[in-house]
Amino acid sequence: MKAQKKANGNETRSDGLIKPGHHGSLLDYMRKIWERREYLYQVPKHELRSQQMGTVLGNVWHLLNPILSIVVYAVIFGVILKVDRGVSNFVAFVAIGVFVFSFSQKSIITGSQSIVKNRTLIRSINFPRALLPITSVSTEFLAFLPGLAVMFATCIATGANPKLSWVIIPALILVQFIFNCGATLIAARATARYGDVKNILPFVFRLLFYGSGVLFSVDAYVTNELMRNLFVLNPMFNILELYRWAILGGSISSVELFALAAWTICLFYFGVFWFRKGESSYGA
């Protein structure tokens, strides 16, 4: 019978080898991720530099893609289809929706592939595998920051006045980052186990895009209370509502605040817990 002992939070066998995928308790696991926080900044920084190296405009495309989307959506939905009912500043409304939604969408879809694309690295080095999907979120976060500046510039240029509630935007970004990490950890393990998930996620986000009020005011079109409550169950809707309330003003309900807090806490905790459970299988 092989004797086992605990050493420095790792399960070490009698032959001196560490059991694959073992990183101690959940707290030890989180501590090891935090100890490697420099990785979560340096790798995304270099990743962003290399993403558009083959194009003339380079990383400007990180801004051009959502800007062009805003122009297209504003023209089609605001000018042609006239779905700007209940919105006084439709361009700013759409800008917030597109940039904020894109941050979560890109984080989760890109992060879902982080385990599959890094199997060689996983087989070579023992480290908390959660670093890989969280790094994908960090990469999209760095790409989101210039977009955030463009978003505010768009809002100001179209008539939005700076207000005190703008100071809570950093807290909202932190909440969204934590939310994205939890969802990405779940998507990464699901994709590593079932390859079809990568083909399903784009359709899920397409449904979420039109079901989160990115392009229209839910309050202006949905008058049925039951239907309105279904929107509140959508975490992306609550994220967008909070950003728009903080930047453009209006009202926000305590239900939306509670729903987003519940989604963020539960999703992050379950994401870390469930992802960690599969650590030993990711190199297979």
Using one digit for the tens of pLDDT, what is the confidence trace for 90-135? 999 999 999 999 999 999 999 999 999 998 888 888 888 999 999 9
Task: Bin 161: left if φ > 0, else alpha if -120 < ψ < 50, else beta.
Answer: beta
Task: Write down the mean pLDDT value for the chain.
Answer: 85
Mean pLDDT comparison of 17-21, 45-49, 55-59, 135-139, highest-scoring range: 135-139
- Confidence class for position 71, pLDDT limits 50, 70, 90: confident
Given a cut of 50, whether residue 85 has pLDDT beyond it is: yes
CA angle centred on 232, ends 228 and 237, rounded to 5°: 110
The model's pTM is 0.86
Residue ranges of the domains in the chain?
60-281
- Confidence class for position 282, pLDDT limits 50, 70, 90: confident
Using one digit for the tens of pLDDT, what is the confidence trace for 210-267? 889 999 988 888 888 888 888 999 999 999 999 999 999 888 889 999 999 999 999 9
User: d(Cα 107, Cα 180) in Å, to the nearest integer?
Assistant: 7
Give the side-chain half-sphere CA count within 13 A for 202. Answer: 4
Provide the 10 A C-beta neighbour count for residue 136: 28
Given a cut of 70, whether residue 10 has pLDDT beyond it is: no
- The fraction of the chain above a pLDDT of 90, given in percent, is 47
**pLDDT for 209:** 92
Given a cut of 70, whether residue 77 has pLDDT beyond it is: yes
More confidently predicted of 228 and 176: 176
Using one digit for the tens of pLDDT, what is the confidence trace for 130-170? 999 999 999 999 989 888 988 999 999 998 889 999 999 99
